[in-house]
């Protein structure tokens, strides 16, 4: 059954007949399908690697209303894969730059921009006005937030994620199949799974997976084909291999199961362990403060927890390289009487590293380099290239 009821359908103009003629020739889409696309409202959360091709193809397909949620600015590193932006968009809000591009592609559609962070306080109010939610995010708190919100509002959630060379996509619809928590009941421990910003991603991969999302959205709106409800599409661009896994609804799911225990949105940062719940805060040190400390008679020991291939791009002089995965078993190499400063790319993994060492019983003083080696490159050694 199509998502868009007949009473919401309008007519197509002569220009729209010409624009969408290739859709109209498909009996599976046809005139009614195109009218449903025109009447549909789709919310895309995240206008990055996945959201870029997703938004472009939905705009080109004639989805009448597209909502864009993001609060980031366009950065140089985005341009390797976020094809909705160009160099002239640098430092612009992503939703504004994306809206301009989409209106240029299809001036007949409506673009709604939400230049904000989606959270428990605003998610339901924003999502309720849309027919479909497409998850183009890259963090666990927002994924769980969207998953739960879509169950509560009975909206289909077209989900995807990418990392390095691999991607996955599915459709979560608790009315017909599993929800996000059925697949991922609990988030991984903080720091275990690096983000694309830390682990990298092949530039074309989000284009492939984002296009899969767009196809799923179109099928849901038009009503036809076989949506990825109850199926997980897996793709490896490096090996050029695609697979499929079956997803079953969990009858004991705390959100969509027979006896749900989660009936409202929660604090997802805390749920995913990203908000420090320890009574003892983790001390940090800025790049400029670290520079000053290194010039004293008692400099701290720098522990570089990045992977070897990262260190080859940016070598921190005098640092002891100990990759994150080796930290706990090698903590006997550290001098508990000396201040340790942990460094990574952006200062996130190093926070988790300090927590892991604390949990393992390390008692020496530890500091986190705020904003990581990228801050050092920007504030102390401008000749070094941030990555």
**Would you name the residues annotated as active-site residues?**
196, 344
Strands (E), 18-124: 41-45, 65-69, 110-114
Q: For residues 197 and 103, what is the distance between their CA atoms, to the nearest angstrom? A: 29
Distances (CA, A) of 114 to 38, 45, 83, 89: 21, 9, 20, 18
Measured at the CA of 207, the angle between CA 206 and CA 210, to 5 degrees, comes to 75
346: alpha, beta or left? (left if phi > 0; alpha if psi -120 to 50)? alpha
Q: Phi then psi for 261, rounded to 5 degrees?
A: -105, -15
Q: Phi then psi for 172, rounded to 5 degrees?
A: -95, 120
| Residues ≥6 apart with Cβ < 8 Å to 289 | none
Q: For residues 269 and 188, what is the distance between their CA atoms, to the nearest angstrom? A: 13
Q: Do residues 137 and 47 make contact, with C-beta atoms less than 8 angstroms apart? A: no
> Which tokens belong to 55?
């938004």
Q: For residues 62 and 199, what is the distance between their CA atoms, to the nearest angstrom? A: 35
> Which tokens belong to 291?
């520079």
> Which tokens belong to 162?
């990418």
User: Which contacts qualify for 332-337: CB closer than 8 Å, 24 or more apart?
Assistant: 334/301, 334/303, 334/362, 334/364, 335/301, 335/364, 336/362, 336/363, 336/364, 337/364
Q: For residues 84 and 78, what is the distance between their CA atoms, to the nearest angstrom? A: 10
> What are the residues facing 242 on neighbouring strands?
235
Q: Phi then psi for 341, rounded to 5 degrees?
A: -120, 120
């Amino acid at each position: 059954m199509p998502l868009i009821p007949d009473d919401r359908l309008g007519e197509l103009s002569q220009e729209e007949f010409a624009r969408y003629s290739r859709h109209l020739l498909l009996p599976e889409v046809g005139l009614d399908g195109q009218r449903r696309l025109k009447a549909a409202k789709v919310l895309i959360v995240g206008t990055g690697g996945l959201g870029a091709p997703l938004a472009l193809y939905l705009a080109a397909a004639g989805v009448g209303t597209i909502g864009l949620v993001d609060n980031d600015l366009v950065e140089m590193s985005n341009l390797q894969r976020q094809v909705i932006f160009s160099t002239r968009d640098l430092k612009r809000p992503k939703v504004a730059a994306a809206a301009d591009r989409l209106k240029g592609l299809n001036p007949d559609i409506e673009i709604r921009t939400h230049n904000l962070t989606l959270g428990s306080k605003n998610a339901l109010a924003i999502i309720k006005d849309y027919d479909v939610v497409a998850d183009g995010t890259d963090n666990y708190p927002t994924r769980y937030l969207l998953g739960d919100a879509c169950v509560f509002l009975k909206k289909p959630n077209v989900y995807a994620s990418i990392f390095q060379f691999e991607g996955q996509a599915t459709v979560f619809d608790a009315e017909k199949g599993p929800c996000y928590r059925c697949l991922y009941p609990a988030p991984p421990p903080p720091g275990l799974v690096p983000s694309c910003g830390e682990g990298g991603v092949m530039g074309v991969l989000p284009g492939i997976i984002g296009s899969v999302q767009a196809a799923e959205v179109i099928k849901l709106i038009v009503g036809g084909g076989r949506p990825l409800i109850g199926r997980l599409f897996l793709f490896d661009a490096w090996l050029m291999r695609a697979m499929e896994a079956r997803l079953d609804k969990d009858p004991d799911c705390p959100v969509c199961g027979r006896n749900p225990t989660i009936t409202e949105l929660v604090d997802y940062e805390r749920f995913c362990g990203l908000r420090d719940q320890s009574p003892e805060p983790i001390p940090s040190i800025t790049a400029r403060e670290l520079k000053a400390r290194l010039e004293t008679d008692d400099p701290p020991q720098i522990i570089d927890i990045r992977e070897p291939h990262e260190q080859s791009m940016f070598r921190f002089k005098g640092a002891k390289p100990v990759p994150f995965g080796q930290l706990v078993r090698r903590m006997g190499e550290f001098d508990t009487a000396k201040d340790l400063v942990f460094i990574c790319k952006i200062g996130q993994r190093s926070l988790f590293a300090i927590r892991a060492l604390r949990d393992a019983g390390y008692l020496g003083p530890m500091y986190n380099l705020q904003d990581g080696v990228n801050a050092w490159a920007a504030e102390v050694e401008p000749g070094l290239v941030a990555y």
